[in-house]
Structures are given as structure tokens and as C-alpha cells.
Amino acid sequence: MNPPDEFGELKELVRQHKVCWEVWPVYHIARKGEKIQIGFELELLRTHRDPKDVPKPGCAQCLEVYDDLKQIAQWILPKEDRLSRYEIGIFDSSIRYSAKRKFRRDVALMIKILHKAKFDDPTGDCEFRCLHEME
């Protein structure tokens, strides 16, 4: 699959499954109890496409949704070496419901954006830049 075809297919996945995202801060509690933001979690959310049955947590359709989200996640990760690192979360077999999305049945994939060298450094320009580019 060449890059333009891949981009078109990913755009179609986003459209069909109403992919959206939310951003959450990642904190570390220092020895003195100080709460320090050390990065972000970018949560990609997606609903089932034309489910034949009511989706159940961990069903085969959920796994397909997660696999599609993983394709999107891998595509949006920065390709060049940077001062930050990225962790794509594992499939957690759950369905999420949010009032923001009228309680639709969503499968989620988490991407952590953290420092590459020292995990407890405060969030820096690189993490902000990477998050912005991924969004």
C-alpha cells in the first residue's frame, strides 16, 4: 500500500467510525508530594461500524475497532527521532460511554507522550509539539 492510498484508507476509517480524541495530562507525584505533569495521554475513540448485534465488551467487533485505531495511531506517531517517546496502549476489552458523545459505545486506544530520557521531567516543548501534530 503506498502512502496516498494508506492516507485515503485511514481517512475513510475515521469517517466511518466517527473517530474522535481526548487529551489527558499524565502526572507524577514527587517525593515531597508535589504533583508534576510529565506528559499526555491522547485517547483515540471510535464506535462500531454498523454493528449487527449490540456490542459487548471484548467482542470480535471491538477488537476490529481497536485494530483500526491502532493503524491510525501508528500513522500519526512522529517518524523522526525526538526527545519524547510514545507508548500505544493495549486492547483493554472495554466499551466506554461518554455524555459528550451521547453515550455511544466507544472503544478506546491510549497513546502516552512522555520524555525519552528522564521520565519525571515536567512536560516540555517536545511533548506539546508532538501532541499538537498528532491532533
**What is the pTM (predicted TM-score) of this model?**
0.85
The residue range of the domain holding 58 is 3-134
> How far lies 99's CA from each of 25, 79, 81, 102, in Å?
20, 34, 38, 5
pLDDT digits (tens, 9 = 90+) for 89-129: 999 988 888 888 888 888 999 999 999 988 888 999 999 99
pLDDT value at position 100?
Answer: 84
DSSP bridge partners of 27 = 37
pLDDT digits (tens, 9 = 90+) for 3-59: 557 778 778 777 776 788 999 999 999 888 899 999 999 999 988 776 667 778 888
Percentage helix, strand, coil, to 5, in the chain?
A: 35, 30, 40
Which one-letter DSSP state was computed for residue 24?
A: E
How many domains would you assign to the chain?
1
